[in-house]
Amino acid sequence: MSYITKSVLLFAIVASIAYAYTKEEIEMFQFQTELNKKYGSDMNIYKFLKLDKIDSNYKNINNKQIIKQVRKLSAKYHPDKNKKYIKLYQRINIAKDILLNHESRKNYDYYLNSSRGFPKYDFMKGGFYHSLAGRLQLNGILLLLFVLTVVCPFFHVLYLKSTIIGKRMKMNQFIDAIIEQHDDTKGLGVKYLKFDTSEKQDESQIDELCIKFGKVYSVEKDGKEVLMDPSVLIPDMKVSDVFPLNLFFGKKK
């Protein structure tokens, strides 16, 4: 992976975290979801506080009107009058806090007037997700990072291990077959076997073998003899071979 690609990938991760929904936004989405489940899909904070009866245009409603209406509802539905009002009283105060905070009200109005509405909760995406903005809940990003840094490497390690074991088994079978078919010295001498390489397509293909005292060696171009031991010819995996580390530290092709 090139330096530019690595930089872009790291930037995308950092940007997605920075662009993730804030804690306040998540609480607002959760509250809106709660209102919709309790009072219907067309319910919003303004209707919940009955501010729509004061002015149907929510933008015209000021903080004084909000405070006045909240006090009226709080007095009517105070838990001291009836314990069953506890949850309702809590909702009234949450709605008040959202509308009296300039930034949270601005965000609320944005999603309220958006054609896509408020972000929906999606367990597979790790929480609240808005397809229009492409934003994720931080939990979703952390879940994705967990999958990339823990789950994927775990299964990749299993795959690499099984691949190495399989290759070593085949190599052992190959070595045994060479000894059985060509060691007519019965392990007491040395014998060389040369292969026809006129149509050689793979540079890793072995040109010459040496059977020496019951063991098989590959003969390098410089004449060096290397024991055909699976642990030598098929080495163990390295940490840098495991995804996603291989993207950053793997050998450049």
129-187 pLDDT tens trace: 555 444 555 555 566 667 777 788 888 888 989 999 998 899 889 888 888 888 888 78
What's the rounded mean pLDDT across residues 5-27? 64
pLDDT of 126 higher than 80: no
Contact between 237 and 160 under an 8 Å Cβ cutoff? The reply is yes
Provide the whole-model pTM: 0.49
Instruction: Report the share of the chain in percent with pLDDT over 90.
Output: 28
At 65 the pLDDT is: 94
What's the rounded mean pLDDT across residues 62-86? 93
Q: Which of 13-22, 109-118, 131-140, 167-176 has the lowest mean pLDDT?
A: 131-140
Q: Which domains does the chain have, with CATH numbers?
A: 3-144 (1.10.287.110)
At 243 the pLDDT is: 75
- Angle, CA of 192, 197 and 200, to the nearest 5°: 140
At 133 the pLDDT is: 46
What's the rounded mean pLDDT across residues 88-117? 90
At 31 the pLDDT is: 92
Classify the phi-psi angles of 232: left when phi > 0, otherwise alpha if psi is within -120 to 50, otherwise beta.
alpha
What's the rounded mean pLDDT across residues 55-72? 91
pLDDT band at 17 (very low <50, low <70, confident <90, very high): low
At 77 the pLDDT is: 93
At 56 the pLDDT is: 82
What's the rounded mean pLDDT across residues 4-32? 68
What's the rounded mean pLDDT across residues 91-115? 91
Burial of 209 (0-12, 13-18, 19+ CB in 10 A): buried
pLDDT band at 125 (very low <50, low <70, confident <90, very high): very low
pLDDT band at 127 (very low <50, low <70, confident <90, very high): low
Which comes out higher in pLDDT, residue 123 or 93?
A: 93
What mean pLDDT is reported for the chain? Answer: 80
Contact between 65 and 74 under an 8 Å Cβ cutoff? The reply is no
The strand pairing partners of 225, in sequence order, are 219
At 61 the pLDDT is: 92
At 175 the pLDDT is: 87
141: tokens are 């990003």
At 26 the pLDDT is: 82
SS3 253: coil
Burial 198-207 (b: 16+ CB within 10 A, else e): eeeeeeeebe
